[in-house]
Structures are given as C-alpha cells and as structure tokens.
Amino acid sequence: MNPRDRDRRGGGGGDRRRGGRPGGAGRPGGGKGKPPVTRRGPRSMNIPGSLAARDEEEREREAPRTGGVPLVLATRNPGKVRELAARLAGTPWRVLGPEAIENLPSPVEDGATFEANARKKAIHYSRLVDHLVLADDSGLEIDALDGWPGVRSARVGGPGATDEDRIRLVLARMEDVPWERRDARFRCVLAIARRGEVLAAFDGVVEGKIALEPEGGGGFGYDPIFFYPAMNRTFAEMTPAEKDSVSHRGQALDRAVGWLVDLLERGGIESLRPKK
C-alpha cells in the first residue's frame, strides 16, 4: 500500500496507525497502551488466496520451474511452496510441491520442538520418494501466551480451521493484552534428508508484535497479524521480496540454499552415495 494513502487515511504523518502501529495515544503511557484503529466501513479479514494483485516480476519470480534437479518440498501448503520456490529461483534445483506427496501417508507431527517435527517429516518422506527431501516446521510464538501456539500453530482451531479462523482465535486470546506486551516471533526450522537420514538442518527467527487486527493482502497464515516494527507494517502488507528479505523462513532458506548449491558443486546427489 502506498504510504501516501496511509497518510490520507490516518489524518497526517503523526497519526498513521493501522493494525497495531504504535503512536500517539497508542504508545506506552498513552491511553490504554493500545494504538487506536481506523475502521474503514464493514470489514472482513483479508486473507490472500491469489497472486493476481502482484506485479509481473514477482509472479515470474514465483513461477514453478520445469527443469533442474528435483527437490521434494514436504508440505501440502501452497503458500509455502510459492514462498520457498521463489527463494530457490536461480539455483539448479526444481521444487516439487504437494503433487509429489499427495498420495503418501503423512507423519504424525508430535515433536516438542520445530526442529523435531522438521526432522521427522524429512526422514518420513525421504523413505518414500527417490529425491532429496526438504521439510520445514514453523510457527508463531507469543510471549504473553507463554509461547503459544508454537508447534501447534498450524493446528489451532482443529483440523477444519482456516487461516481466518486461527487469526480470530489468536486475537481473541490477545484482546486485553496491551501493545507493549504483544511481543511475538516467527520461528522456522528446515531439515534436508535422503533415504531416511537427515543431512542438514537450518533455522531462522524474526521478532515482531501481534497487531490489533488483520492488515494486508499478501502472505498466508498469521502474516496479516504479524506486525514487523522495522518496516512499520504487517508481513501481509509486504511484497514477497520484502518479506523474503527478513522472514524466518527466508533466513533458514538462505542457509539451506547455500548448502544445496554447494552440494551440486561437490558432485550433486551422487556425491552423497557412500564410496565403494
């Protein structure tokens, strides 16, 4: 969104607050510690489901590749596929998404940490497919809720819950929490496995706050309520390139991509075979 549009809606440079931006009465010591929210008529959550509003360059950046070395991304989440495939664009790797695992049984994600779940998924699927497997586990940790939802981030609200449902449940639990206590973070762990063995693992963390209401039309999951102070907007208000540059998954992928590229320079998948 154009910052000038925010200026016009917010009534000037000193009072621009959307979805949880601290300022004026919303800063610590002012009002109740919550930034006021500008309502714009009847509102429903703007959870994205299309790339139509993104510019051509970003759509091309997210387009799936048809050649290269196959890399199975062990997820059924199309948002993650788009995000991770974009990060791997320009490398020799070709990401295979849900189509590669749709007919395979899913592992039980019962680990106590994100790393435990990422490793478990990578090992599980690497025993069922012929290619290298990259699995991730990621989620939202909220300090005021003792780290909840944590490893249960994708399961908040039960099996039938949507992103919108999960966001409502989080905001309901945060309703009386003042701005200064709304600290939160996204955490991600990626694990790479082949034939039942984890070859490498990488992590990333980004700090932010829980916004007072959803804002933005990009991203997925909890992005509309994850406010990133350094850019003064939620993850869902960022372009894919902006989000990739600071996100937890982007950090982990930077490390994973370096490892994957180095693997090919060492001789590719065949270099992982034990020497006779």
Q: Which tokens is 236 given?
A: 């869902």
Reported pTM: 0.70
Q: What pLDDT does 149 receive?
A: 98
Q: What pLDDT does 10 receive?
A: 41
Handedness of CA 125, 127, 133, 134 (dihedral sign): positive
Q: Is 259 helix (H, G, I), strand (E, B) or coil?
A: helix
The architecture in CATH of the region 55-268 reads Alpha-Beta Complex (3.90)
Catalytic one of 137, 163, 203, 223: 137
Q: What pLDDT does 127 receive?
A: 95
Catalytic status, residue 137: yes
Q: What pLDDT does 41 receive?
A: 32
Domain boundaries, the chain: 55-268
Pick out the chain residues at pLDDT < 50: 1-20, 23-66, 274-276
Q: What pLDDT does 270 receive?
A: 66
In this predicted model, what pLDDT tens digit does every residue of 130-147 receive, in sequence order? Answer: 899 999 999 999 999 999
Q: CA torsion angle for 80, 173, 230, 48 (degrees, to 10)?
A: 40
Q: What pLDDT does 92 receive?
A: 80
